[in-house]
Amino acid sequence: MKITEAKVIVCSPTRNFVTLLIRTDEGIYGLGDATLNGRELAVATYLEEYCIPCLIGRNPFDTEDIWQYFYIGAYWKRGPVTMSALAAIDMALWDIKGKVLNTPVYNLLGGKSRDRIMVYCHANGTDLSQTLEEVHQHLEMGYKAIRVQTGIPGIASTYGVVAKGEKYEPATRGVPHESSWSTEKYLNFIPRLFSAVRDKFGDDIHLLHDCHHRLTPIEAARFGKEVEPFHLFWMEDPVSEELQESFRIIRNHTTTPIAVGEIFNSVFDCNRLITEQLIDYLRMTIVHGGGITPLQKVAHLAEVYNVRTGFHGATDLSPVTMAAALHFNTAIHNFGIQEHMPHEPLVDEVFPHAYYFRDGFMYAGDKPGLGIDIDMALVDKYPYQRAYLPLNRREDGTMWNW
Ligand code: GCO
Ligand code: MG
């Protein structure tokens, strides 16, 4: 069996997605997601100019060798652009393998470790009362785990929060939006938020929170300590992660579990965090972590150190990544939780899929391969539109992590 053609499809049904479609001489094709939010065409070009010419003629079953060919063979290892491209190739090949063998991909990754995947949703009001209302609404939808973000008094806009009736979407069209930030106001307010949520809804729901890389290690330590009475499932991205040893400061002060890794793209971004047991959940998911092939190795390493997965699943990760993540989550032993930020109905139309949500859990479905497709007629109707993630400044104007 041989790869005969590979094609990059860039479309924007409400937001941009980059998809790789690989065809074989036996008429079977596979899909991979290569979306890197705000930098989409860099990955598309990398695939078209440098990867696709070397893919033609290869055996799509050789997932390990093809991965190493593009990883070691590029000489320029790692980085989000190249690793997202590599992830798309890898996903598409696993999809083909499953289709040829007529079995869902989870069966190729170890079979079913569980029947259902616990997911967490987002409650994010502009103020406390709207946020409590959002928590209520999501409980009604059946969610067992909820990430809670809220507007902070005295800060004009903050990460993850949207006006009433709007849906949170990380990227916006036009030039980047700028927001302003006060660590002090944030740290003073968030414990009150979680106290109010526990008072109103009790102890049975899992509560999560994303600090979005905005604290220093000692500030994150204070955060973790002050929310301990409300026993969060996790605090996410408490600090900017480049300095892996900085997590020891947080760890020394608090028992609040830590989740990191949505911007990681290789095991070398988190090897120390894992082996020194400085984190509890790893968020690096299939698309930005280089594909199913390397993520399997990372998950197995993490299992030894009691680190579970908690894959990134915002709207900028396409349904192709969600499908791959759900197969992966079904199979590996040390699954923790999966983020679920539902796509717009139009996105689900462009990418028809076998996976589904029911009563707080998601299911990969039992179709061969990844159980995902793309509607080429619809794709042409929604061409790419440049969009950026926002920027963030401290109140005095200093650039800060968004
Ligand atoms: C999350 C993330 C997102 C990212 C976005 C960037 O936890 O879901 O932090 O909101 O900011 O995916 O593209
Ligand atoms: Mg996050």
| Active-site annotation holds for 212 | yes
Please return the burial class of 31, using the count of CB atoms within 10 Å of its CB with bins 0-12, 13-18 and 19+: buried
pTM of the shown model? 0.97
Report long-range pairs for 299-305 (Cβ below 8 Å, ≥24 apart): 299/328, 299/332, 299/334, 300/332, 301/267, 301/271, 301/274, 301/275, 302/274, 302/334, 303/332, 303/333, 303/334, 305/274, 305/275, 305/277
In eight-state DSSP terms, residue 168 is P
Residue 240 and residue 151 in one domain: yes
Residue 204 and residue 267 in one domain: yes
Residue 275 and residue 176 in one domain: yes
Residue 277, domain CATH: 3.20.20.120
Residue 353 and residue 262 in one domain: yes
Q: What is the pLDDT along the chain (402 residues), one digit of tens a residue?
A: 999 999 999 999 999 999 999 999 999 999 999 999 999 999 999 999 999 999 999 999 999 999 999 999 999 999 999 999 999 999 999 999 999 999 999 999 999 999 999 999 999 999 999 999 999 999 999 999 999 999 999 998 888 887 777 788 889 888 899 999 999 999 999 999 999 999 999 999 999 999 999 999 999 999 999 999 999 999 999 999 999 999 999 999 999 999 999 999 999 999 999 999 999 999 999 999 999 999 999 999 999 999 999 999 999 999 999 999 999 999 999 999 999 999 999 999 999 999 999 999 999 999 999 999 999 999 999 999 999 999 999 999 999 999
Q: Which atom of ligand 1 is nearest to the CA of 37?
A: 13
Ligand 2 centre distance from Cα of residue 226 (Å)? 20
- Quick check: is 398 in a domain? no
- Quick check: is 158 in a domain? yes
Is any atom of ligand 1 closer than 6 Å to the C-beta of 36? no
Q: For residue 118, what are the domain limits?
A: 108-366
Task: State residue 288's pLDDT score.
Answer: 98
Task: State residue 263's pLDDT score.
Answer: 98
Residue 91 and residue 163 in one domain: no
**Chain-wide mean pLDDT for the chain?**
97
Residue 199 and residue 238 in one domain: yes
pLDDT digits (tens, 9 = 90+) for 108-132: 999 999 999 999 999 999 999 999 9
Quote the number of domains for the chain: 2
| Active-site annotation holds for 159 | yes
- Quick check: is 391 in a domain? no
Residue 221 and residue 288 in one domain: yes
Residue 219 and residue 308 in one domain: yes
Task: State residue 283's pLDDT score.
Answer: 98
Is any atom of ligand 1 closer than 6 Å to the C-beta of 208? no
Last residue of a domain, which of 44, 72, 104? 104
Task: State residue 223's pLDDT score.
Answer: 98
Answer for the pair 316, 262: CB distance below 8 angstroms, yes or no.
no
Last residue of a domain, which of 66, 82, 104? 104
Residue 54 and residue 154 in one domain: no
Task: State residue 161's pLDDT score.
Answer: 87
Task: State residue 170's pLDDT score.
Answer: 83
- Quick check: is 94 in a domain? yes
- Quick check: is 377 in a domain? no
Residue 90 and residue 129 in one domain: no
Answer for the pair 369, 96: CB distance below 8 angstroms, yes or no.
yes
- Quick check: is 166 in a domain? yes
Q: Which atom of ligand 1 is nearest to the CA of 38?
A: 13
Task: State residue 165's pLDDT score.
Answer: 73
Is any atom of ligand 1 closer than 6 Å to the C-beta of 170? yes
- Quick check: is 400 in a domain? no
Is any atom of ligand 1 closer than 6 Å to the C-beta of 262? yes
Residues 6+ apart with CB under 8 A from 288: 36, 80, 83, 84, 87, 262, 263, 264, 265, 312
Task: State residue 314's pLDDT score.
Answer: 98
Residue 169 and residue 246 in one domain: yes
Residues 6+ apart with CB under 8 A from 62: none
Last residue of a domain, which of 86, 104, 122? 104
Task: State residue 160's pLDDT score.
Answer: 85
Residue 13 and residue 138 in one domain: no
- Quick check: is 392 in a domain? no
Ligand 1 pocket test target in 167, 262, 337, 391 with most atoms within 8 Å of CB: 262
Residues 6+ apart with CB under 8 A from 284: 261, 262, 264, 265, 269, 270, 295, 298, 311, 312
Task: State residue 298's pLDDT score.
Answer: 98
Residue 18, domain CATH: 3.30.390.10
pLDDT digits (tens, 9 = 90+) for 301-315: 999 999 999 999 999
